[in-house]
Amino acid sequence: MPVPEREPLRLMAVHAHPDDESSKGAATTARYAAEGVEVLVVTCTGGERGDILNPSFEVPEGYEFESIEGRRAVRRLEMARAAEALGVRQQWLGFVDSGLPEGDPLPPLPEGCFALVPLEEAAAPLVRAVREFRPHVITTYDPSGGYPHPDHIKCHDVSFEAFAAAGDPDRYPGTGEPWQPLKLYYDHGYSMNRIRAVHEAIEGAGLESPFGEWVASRDAREIPERPVTTLVPVADYFPNRDAALTAHASQIDPKGFFFAVPRDLEVDVWPWEEFELAESRVPLPERAAGEYEDDLFEGIRSEVRA
Ligand SMILES: [Zn+2]
């Protein structure tokens, strides 16, 4: 399925909440956008159940952060600033944040939230978005959600469903002309390879690592690591990622975890963002263990130039 020569490449990054696009694969979207790829971030929920996670956050003038509607409005404002920092377009699917259930036993999920919407109903607006935007590549989370938030798992489920169904004219009637994306990736920003490399470099520089407990707990348990297939070099776009993170002022503490790695060290040690190729409809070269793809459009770009 060659891409016509003059047709721009298109990348769709599907995320659960506003701020996820800034903490997972953010520099990759900024880089592709800067290179002329059309990039659309799709956000499944409005982030209405996120608490204030930044102690220095002040609710903007004319806004409130108590009601579902108030939080939605604040987070829309933050999202618009983040999209601007990344240079991408952004679209809401309109579902309501499920919140992260905590306690033992876990409380039931709130009525009407994203995680409780049946799969076909939850995937339909994403199928419509895929058929409208016609991405060649989609990124999302792995089946575990990457971390066990019900909206992250659901984000995987609807993305996987949309990748499989959007090209089938018999599925999801009434949501536009069929379009088959060519590759599906999972975001993996915190592989143990990255954590260890950064952790050792920070300790080597005589600084305190934010990953000490993380490394120790992983060393103590055998947790299977998902495979990383792709390292996209994006160090030039870390400043865009950082500006986008900071834009989510209610969620991201500028003195907190996401800013705990010295940026010059990060550029030296881990100038990439990591992905796992989950599905491909284009032929790709065989790679030996330890060899990585460096472009989400590999196999698609070559067809453009052929
Ligand atoms: Zn999230």
- 20 known member of a binding site: yes
Distance CA 61, CA 253 (A): 20
Question: Which backbone phi and psi does 232 adopt, to 5 degrees?
Answer: -95, 120
| pLDDT for residue 284 is more than 90 | yes
- Give me the mean pLDDT over the 135-157 stretch: 95
| d(CA 97, ligand 1 centre) in Å | 9
Give, in order, the Cα–Cα distances in Å from 277 to each of 192, 242, 249, 294: 18, 25, 32, 11
pLDDT exceeds cutoff 70 at 5:
no
**What residues have a C-beta under 5 A from ligand 1, the ion?**
16-17, 20
In the chain, the percentage of residues whose pLDDT exceeds 90 is 82
152 in a labelled binding site = yes
Say whether the peptide bond before residue 105 is cis (omega within 30 degrees of 0). Answer: yes
Is 51 annotated among the ligand-binding residues?
no
Q: Is the pLDDT of residue 223 over 80?
A: no
**Better-scored residue on pLDDT, 138 or 218:** 138
Q: Write the pLDDT tens digit of every residue in 159-189.
A: 999 999 999 999 999 999 999 999 999 999 8
| Ligand 1: centre distance to CA 256 (Å) | 17
| Cα 16 to ligand 1 centre (Å) | 5
Q: What is the DSSP string of 252-272?
A: --TTSGGG-S-HHHHHHH--E
How far from chain centre, in Å, is Cα 292? 20
**Position 306 confidence tier, pLDDT thresholds 50, 70, 90:** very low
More confident residue, 1 or 151: 151
Query: Please, where are the H alpha helices in the chain?
Result: 20-23, 26-34, 68-86, 119-133, 150-165, 192-204, 212-220, 238-247, 263-269, 301-305
Q: How far is the CA of 291 from the centre of ligand 1 (A)?
A: 30
| Cα-to-centroid distance, 24 and ligand 1 (Å) | 10
